[in-house]
Amino acid sequence: MSEPSASRLLTIFVIHPSQFLTDFRGHGDGLTAFGFISQLARRGHRLHVAVEAADLRDPLPPNVTLHPITLRTSWGPLRRIEYMLKVRALFNRLRKHERFDVAHQFNPVYSGLSLALLGSGIPIVLGTYIPEWPNGAARALRGFAKALVAAPQQAAAAALLLTTPAARPRLPLARMLGRKIHYLGNGIDIDRFRPGDKPAPGDQTILFLAQLARKKGVFTLLDAFAQVALRFPAAQLWIAGDGVDGVAVRRQAQTMEAADRVRFFGALEHSATSQFYRESAVYCMPSFGEPYGMTALEAMACAKPVIATNTGGPRYLVPEAGGRHVPPGDSAALAGALEEILASEPLRAEMGRYNRAYIEREFAWDRVIERLETIYGAVIAK
């Protein structure tokens, strides 16, 4: 068990880990929350976790207790109020025999939930926040309504964790929150996501691993691959995932001259993704506004170069020395970046080495949890 950087072992109350806590299903928020919880437990901290829904393949360690919150209300606003009331009741029961040091609500930080512990006397940490997808005019009003609830929630918190500067719009009062704001990336299991033992020289496989949805840029990638395929006869495009536009994506792929070099693998369990990263030459994330970009970090941990759009989280996560940034929706720019990387095996190797070292330094779970313990220690000291 690793030694914590906090001055002592803590007892942590998790207000809401994610809408769905899991250690194996393809649910990004649930996997990330599980990572934080399991890594904090591995370092010896005691955690009580209020959980709305969960599907875990492996048992959690004995210093983690899950407390299911059963909800009977289906309408969104009332459902959250019911959750808040039940979480406060749970907290009041537990604190009769537990001395809590800090409470934490993980992403997504649903508006208002942490207000359930208002007046409890323990510091509350919110996040990590990730940016939201770019909103159209129809969603702007809902965003404003959420901000009215989020503002007092954030003002009452002791610390707010943002994954990247792209998440600052999630804080309506960002200018007033000052030192409460901390930047903390989500952690990567660098043992599971690691370079392959035998790199494939000359490999020219492009990997896309995401929902098959227009906002993920998959149609832009197909247009770009049609150009790339003309120059690189051995190039292949691997598409892993499913989604609302799956039929349209397959239909467009079938009309391409290089249709026989586009392969579909469907949705993958999280445990299977590392092998796909290792067997590809370059990872491509052409999203129109990716909130974070965990798959980009996983590919980088596997020593792969990454091409991403210059918006949202990837703009800050993918270093210039380890990949390329292109404008969203620009198939010509995407094709140019792919061609540059596919044309040079030494460039791919150099980018891969840089990315692996970068992940080990900045995003390995031990590094991330050490930073979180430091934040916990600071808010408890106040």
Non-local CB neighbours of 76 within 8 Å, separated by 6+ positions: none
Domain 205-362, what fold?
Rossmann fold (3.40.50)
Q: Percent of the chain beyond pLDDT 70?
A: 94
**CB hemisphere CA count around 26 (13 angstroms):** 14
Helix (H) or strand (E) holding 240: strand 236-240
Measured CA to CA in angstroms, residue 78 lies from 35, 41, 86 at distances of 29, 32, 12
Q: What is the pLDDT of residue 2?
A: 55
Distance CA 58, CA 163 (A): 27
Confidence label for 58 from pLDDT (cuts 50, 70 and 90): very high
Measured CA to CA in angstroms, residue 10 lies from 40, 47, 75, 102, 104 at distances of 9, 8, 36, 8, 12
Say yes or no: do domains 11-187+364-381 and 205-362 share a fold. yes
Indicate if the pLDDT at residue 92 is higher than 80. yes
CA 95 from centre of chain: 31
> By C-alpha distance, which of 61, 71, 57 is closest to 22?
57
Confidence label for 136 from pLDDT (cuts 50, 70 and 90): low
Indicate if the pLDDT at residue 145 is higher than 90. no
pTM above 0.85, yes or no: yes
Tokens standing for 246?
């799956």
SS3 300: helix
Indicate if the pLDDT at residue 5 is higher than 70. no
Confidence label for 200 from pLDDT (cuts 50, 70 and 90): low
SS3 376: helix
Q: What is the pLDDT of residue 147?
A: 78
Enumerate the domain spans of the chain. 11-187+364-381, 205-362
Indicate if the pLDDT at residue 184 is higher than 70. yes
Kindly indicate whether the domain formed by 11-187+364-381 is annotated with CATH number 3.90.1150.10.
no
> By C-alpha distance, which of 162, 167, 169, 165 is closest to 185?
162
Say which residue, 142 or 94, is predicted with more confidence: 94
Q: What's the whole-number mean pLDDT along residues 155-184?
A: 94
Indicate if the pLDDT at residue 141 is higher than 50. no
Indicate if the pLDDT at residue 3 is higher than 90. no
- Amino acid occupying residue 375: I
Q: pLDDT tens, 59-83?
A: 999 999 999 999 999 998 899 999 9
Indicate if the pLDDT at residue 320 is higher than 80. yes
